[in-house]
Amino acid sequence: MALVKIENIKKTFSGIEVLKGISFSLDAGKQYVIRGPSGSGKSTLFYLLGGLDRPTSGNIFIDGLNLYAMNDDELANFRNQFVGFVFQFHFLLSSMNCLDNILLPAKIGNHNILEVEKFALSNAQILGVEHCLKKFPYELSGGEQQRINVIRALSLRPKLILCDEPTGSLDSKNSQIVVGLLKEMAAKYASTLVVVTHDDYIASQFQNHFALNDGQLMK
Amino acid sequence: MFNILKSIGKLIYKDKVSLKFALGVLFGLGFSIAVILCTIGIMDGFSITLKRGLKKSSADIILFSHTGFFKYDQNLKNIFSSLNVGETGPAIKTQGFLTAGEVAKGVEVNGIELESFNKTTGMHLNIARDEIAIGTVLAKQLNLKSGDLLSLALPKGNQSFSSLPLIKEFKVGEIIDHGIYQKNLRLVYLQLPILQTLLGVDDSINLIYLNHAKSKNSSLESPIYAKRVKNLRILLHRELGEEYRIRPYWAEFASLLEVVEIEKLIIGLILQMVVVISIFNVLAFVIFINEKKAKELFLYKALGLSQKRLIKVWFWVILSIWAAGSLLSILLVKIFNYMLQSFSLFLLPGDIYHLGRLNIILGYTEYTLVFGLTLAWLFIVSWLAIIRLKKSLLANLRREFS
């Protein structure tokens, strides 16, 4: 069953068409990789899928909802409830400790903090970073930071996990660990996992592939 | 909202540069508000201190006869009691020359009934029949102290122009402070019967001090009190006609008080510019944080913070700066007032300003007005910045995440 349905998406920046009419669908609970070289439009597609930007034309349906028929408030709520983001540069706030970073989506969406904290603690034990929770991000290694980032992305048990170059700043050993964890956790919570990368090795870890080139989807 | 505000607050104060900027903005706003408050407070302080000084040696209303001396008869007393008049104090006011050693000064001689004068005014005079009370400035200028002898030269009333001035010797009984330089320089007090005898006017007087029946427990600054005095004056005028001149206690300085009131309004308006300038600093701070912490703020957005809620957060931040700036301004006003009261640098030449020192007096109305206007300016001007923030968010979003 399709969780995400993309219909003829186009995106133009200053007269340059970055996405040139893309259509595809993603099934619920499956894991996908979107490959492509720099400038192919994969990051733009990532932000459109995550409701962070609006397309110039076309529609994206997620769980039957037309994403861009929503107003800003509804879209923000959608991002909070429905999507877990994992960014390339970890994107942990240095002003707060790791636990507070993990709890941030729960605080923004007014969720039950205690419940999320319990969930975060159990995942931190699974990912081997429970000792990091009271530490600040700058006290952690790159691999540990990315694992905290993964826990935060999963904290509200989203239906869709979007990862933008999740291993881009990690060495190969940590890259393998993080990709492995992402796949494992997504499978555990039946979330649809979409990883955007230009790394062929990371891409090879996934069965379902989409390739982007010059704003077009390559079969 | 509180959780988000707290975590965005952490973003600001955990960053040294942002914190320094925030403190600078806060101090700038606090100082600007304090400048307005001090200016208004000094003007209010001037008016109120002057009025207090005037009231100290006077009653609510002073009644003079256009025809000179008159008798305080039962008819007048009946009129007063029918018009809600409280205490009354018959008195004589005349001109004279006071000589001590080789120095002479023109003075205003007041013949008073001690008991009724002390009741109607804020004075506590206690002089014997052969004593005179003089003001502090006069005592200083003539180098007089209690117990010293001086001579008072008085005209012999209107009875005979051919009469020579009457010169009588008195002992300095009290040296008093009216709170107003001019009064301390010019006013002297004798017992009424003594002055009546000297002037040869029998039991006649030329003025009566009157208080409103309810004035005893009223605050001088209360508008109700001022209204009561004005109303009583109108009623007295209506009842007594043109024969008497009826003046409120502030009449002597009425034009000056009016000018100060108008100046207060005009300067208050002009000084709004100071606040507006400091508000631009607040906006600069908002824009600076928006740029410097763009990544962090966009993370909040990515994690589900809507544009509306982000704007609300900014308004709360602005409101917090306003609240802290207002509190800081109160502290700065207190410090400045302490300096005004304590340092000789801030002493005023009393012959020019009537008062020796300025005092900042501010009521709730002034605080509410200044804080309220600052808040209004803050919201009006910050709205423009917030709109700019809204427009730039999507562009920054692409820039930061690409």
Closest CA to A137 of A125, A123, A151: A151
Beta-carbon-side half-sphere exposure of residue B206 (alpha carbons within 13 Å): 18
Nearest-CA distance A93 → chain B (Å) = 7
CB pairs A-B closer than 8 Å: 72
Q: Are B236 and B377 contained in the same domain?
A: no
d(CA A143, CA A48): 27
State the complex-level ipTM: 0.86
State both tokens at A78.
Answer: 């959608």
- The strands making up A192-197's β-sheet, listed across from edge to edge, are A83-86, A160-164, A192-197, A31-35, A208-213, A216-218
Same domain, B268 and B236: no
Cβ pair A104:B398 closer than 8 A = no
Nearest CB to B397; choose among A53, A87, A104: A53
Contact B282, B22 (CB under 8 A): no
Q: Which residues contact B21 (CB under 8 A, 6 or more apart)?
A: B285, B288
Q: pLDDT tens string for chain B (402 positions)?
A: 777 788 788 777 778 888 899 899 999 999 999 999 999 998 888 888 888 878 888 888 999 888 889 998 888 888 888 888 888 999 999 999 999 888 889 999 999 999 999 988 878 899 999 999 999 999 999 999 999 999 999 876 555 555 567 788 999 999 998 888 888 999 999 999 999 998 888 889 999 999 888 777 667 777 788 888 888 889 988 888 888 899 988 887 888 888 888 888 888 888 888 888 888 888 888 888 878 887 788 888 888 888 888 888 888 888 888 999 999 999 999 999 999 888 877 776 666 556 667 788 888 888 998 999 999 988 888 777 776 666 544 555 555 544
Q: CB neighbours (10 Å) of residue B12?
A: 18
Neighbours of B316 (CB within 10 A): 16
Last residue of one domain, picked from the residues B248, B274, B301: B248
Place of tokens 């390739």: A211
CB < 8 Å to A13, chain B: 398
Helix (H, G, I), strand (E, B), or coil: what is residue A25?
strand
Q: State which of B206, B223, B248 marks the end of a domain.
A: B248
Report yes or no: B308 at the A interface, CB cutoff 8 Å.
yes
Structure-token pair, residue A135: 């530490």
Contacts of B2 (CB under 8 A, 6+ apart): none
- B300 contact A CB<8A: yes
Residue B287, pLDDT score: 82
Mean predicted confidence (pLDDT) in A80-101? 86
- Residues B107 and B30 occupy one common structural domain: no
Is B13 within 8 Å of B22 (Cβ atoms)? yes
pTM (predicted TM-score): 0.72
Task: Considering only the beta carbons, identify the residue of A43, A75, A104 that sits closest to B401.
Answer: A43
Residues B269 and B391 in one domain: yes
Question: For residue B206, what are its two tokens?
Answer: 């030329």
Average pLDDT for chain A = 87
- Its domain, for residue B175, covers 59-248
Clarify whether residues B127 and B155 are in a common domain: yes
Contact B311/A at CB under 8 A: no
Contacts of A96 in chain B (CB under 8 A): 7, 10
Residues B86 and B122 occupy one common structural domain: yes
Q: How confident is the model at residue A63 (pLDDT cuts 50, 70, 90)?
A: confident
Write B384-392 long-range contacts (CB < 8 A, 24+).
Answer: B384/B283, B385/B283, B385/B286, B385/B287, B386/B286, B386/B311, B386/B314, B386/B315, B388/B287, B389/B286, B389/B287, B389/B290, B389/B311, B389/B314, B390/B307, B390/B311, B392/B290
Residues B285 and B151 both lie in one domain: no
Four-residue CA torsion sign, B381, B386, B387, B389: positive
Instruction: Clarify whether residues B65 and B201 are in a common domain.
Output: yes
| Same domain assignment for residues B41 and B21 | yes
Instruction: Please state, in angstroms and rounded to a whole number, the distance separating the CA atoms of residues B50 and B44.
Output: 10
Number of domains composing chain B: 2
Q: What are the φ and ψ backbone dihedral angles of A83, each rounded to 5 degrees?
A: -120, 140
3-state secondary structure of B321: helix
C-alpha B309/C-alpha B298 separation (Å) is 13
* Closest by Cβ to A105, choosing from B296, B304, B309: B304
Q: How far apart are CA A185 and CA A147, in angstroms?
A: 11
B176 and B269 within one domain? no
Final residue before a domain boundary, out of B248, B268, B283:
B248
Same domain, B219 and B80: yes
Q: How far is B274 from chain A (nearest CA, A)?
A: 34
Q: Which of A52, A73, A108, A110 best probes binding to B when mutated, by most B CB atoms within 10 angstroms?
A: A108
Q: Which of A157, A202, A205 is nearest to A42 (CA)?
A: A202
For residues B202 and B142, membership in a common domain is answered with: yes
Pairwise CA distance, residues B256 & B262, whole Å: 10
**CA gap A92, B378 in Å, rounded:** 33
